[in-house]
Amino acid sequence: MQLGMVGLGRMGANLVRRLIRDGHECVVYDVNADAIKALEAEGATGARTLAEFAEALRPPRAAWIMVPAGLTGETVAKVAELFTPGDIIIDGGNSYYRDDIHRAKELAGRGLHYVDVGTSGGVFGLERGFCLMIGGETDVVAGLEPLFETIAPGVGDVPRTPGRTGEPTQPEKGYLHCGPAGAGHFVKMVHNGIEYGMMAAFAEGLAILDKANIGHEIAEHNAETTPLANPEYYQYDLDTAAISEVWRRGSVVASWLLDLTATALVEDPELTEFSGRVSDSGEGRWTVLAAVDEGVPAHVLTASLYERFSSRGEGLFADKLLSAMRKQFGGHAEQHKS
């Protein structure tokens, strides 16, 4: 079937590639003319303006918006201007699900349909397929299934979950209509929250392994840290690259994130390339806000977010204040790194 794609960055372009390869027809637009040309060369129909884009699509039109989060709102608005009742706008970016709810309501007032798609897969999506979490009206989403089937990984070689029988259902093919407007991005948001927690679990655990040789160090007698009571128990020089590799087979923590960790540690065992400033995107934060609103304890997901804040020095004021209090009550001067 036909789909329009607005935004031909890495994600948008790869979605178009998967669609074209599978016989779908794509009309593509981007502010960058070169990005359009590149996909024209691969079989897409390029549009030089959004008006041309809307023109090239057959009603009822379907346009997938894949632009940076900060630009989604205005892009949806511009496309909506050019569309006519019955047309569909799909937001495949990382929008806050509350914005979906607002946009869907506004567009509905103009006879337009809105579908939100949380898309996971990263740089591997072109080959692996993208995991799709979808929100919107039931019949509208149903009409788009041929596209979702193509973009998603499909059943693939993932072993079937025991207890599931019959024809493969949506989620077994890698996409899922989760609920009304916003449901797709809500589920994607929590997905990323979980991702933060899993990443932190690996990072903390491997850090404990990395320092298992701390007993080698000659204990400094200073007030900053208690000398290690039993240095004889911390004499291991462990190979974190090999350990993350061995866990890939047969262990309980086997996972795609572990695969990536093993790759990263083979490439650069000392991680010298990195300074340790860890970014966070909106989803991790929104997940915490949802946990607080719902009254669900989420110690792990929240701690993993805060660790990222700390990695960027955001705990500095608090840390200084702790040193200041220690000086006040104990006369402790702050220890400096030797």
Active-site positions? Answer: 188, 195
The only residue of 23, 34, 139, 163 in contact with its own copies, by rule CB under 8 A? 163
Interatomic CA distance for residues 114 and 93, integer angstroms: 13
Measured from the CB atom, is 17 or 326 closer to its own copies? Answer: 326
Applying CB under 8 A, which part among 12-20, 39-47, 139-147, 278-286 lies near its own copies?
Answer: 278-286
User: Rule CB under 8 A: is residue 223 a binding residue for its own copies?
Assistant: yes
Maximal CA-CA distance, the chain: 77
Show the tokens assigned to 104. Answer: 């869907």
The only residue of 8, 66, 132, 147 in contact with its own copies, by rule CB under 8 A? 132
Residues whose CB falls within 8 Å of the CB of residue 17, separated by 6 or more in sequence, listed in order = 39, 42, 126
Show the tokens assigned to 189. Answer: 């948001």
Q: What are phi and psi of 272, to 5 degrees?
A: -65, -20
Instruction: Indicate the pairing of strand 131-135 with strand 175-179.
Output: parallel
Contact 308, 283 (CB under 8 A): no
Residue 6 DSSP class: E
CB of residue 51 to its own copies, shortest distance in Å:
27
CB of residue 47 to its own copies, shortest distance in Å:
26
Chain-centre distance for alpha carbon 260 = 15
User: Rule CB under 8 A: is residue 269 a binding residue for its own copies?
Assistant: no
Applying CB under 8 A, which part among 15-23, 42-50, 136-144, 298-306 lies near its own copies?
Answer: 298-306
CB of residue 307 to its own copies, shortest distance in Å:
6
User: Rule CB under 8 A: is residue 38 a binding residue for its own copies?
Assistant: no
User: Rule CB under 8 A: is residue 17 a binding residue for its own copies?
Assistant: no
The only residue of 28, 67, 79, 131 in contact with its own copies, by rule CB under 8 A? 131
Measured from the CB atom, is 41 or 252 closer to its own copies? Answer: 252
The only residue of 33, 51, 108, 123 in contact with its own copies, by rule CB under 8 A? 123
Residue ranges in 71-110 that form contacts with its own copies under rule CB under 8 A: 96-98, 101
CB of residue 144 to its own copies, shortest distance in Å:
16
Q: What are phi and psi of 276, to 5 degrees?
A: 95, 15
The mark string for 165-184 relative to its own copies (x by CB under 8 A, - otherwise) is: ----xxxxxxxx-xxx-xx-
Residues whose CB falls within 8 Å of the CB of residue 28, separated by 6 or more in sequence, listed in order = 4, 5, 8, 12, 16, 36, 39, 40, 44, 45, 46, 47
The only residue of 23, 109, 167, 328 in contact with its own copies, by rule CB under 8 A? 328
Contact 91, 114 (CB under 8 A): yes
Q: Is cis: bond before 59, omega within 30 of 0?
A: no
The only residue of 23, 41, 70, 109 in contact with its own copies, by rule CB under 8 A? 70
Instruction: Indicate the pairing of strand 131-135 with strand 113-120.
Output: antiparallel
Task: For helices 282-294 and 299-311, give the axis angle rounded to 10 degrees.
Answer: 140
Measured from the CB atom, is 37 or 128 closer to its own copies? Answer: 128
Count of residues in contact with its own copies, rule CB under 8 A: 175
Applying CB under 8 A, which part among 36-44, 51-59, 64-72, 83-91 lies near its own copies?
Answer: 64-72
Residue ranges in 181-220 that form contacts with its own copies under rule CB under 8 A: 182-183, 186-187, 190-212, 214
Query: How distant, in Å, are the alpha carbons of 16, 64, 213, 270 from that of 207?
Result: 40, 41, 11, 12
User: Rule CB under 8 A: is residue 15 a binding residue for its own copies?
Assistant: no
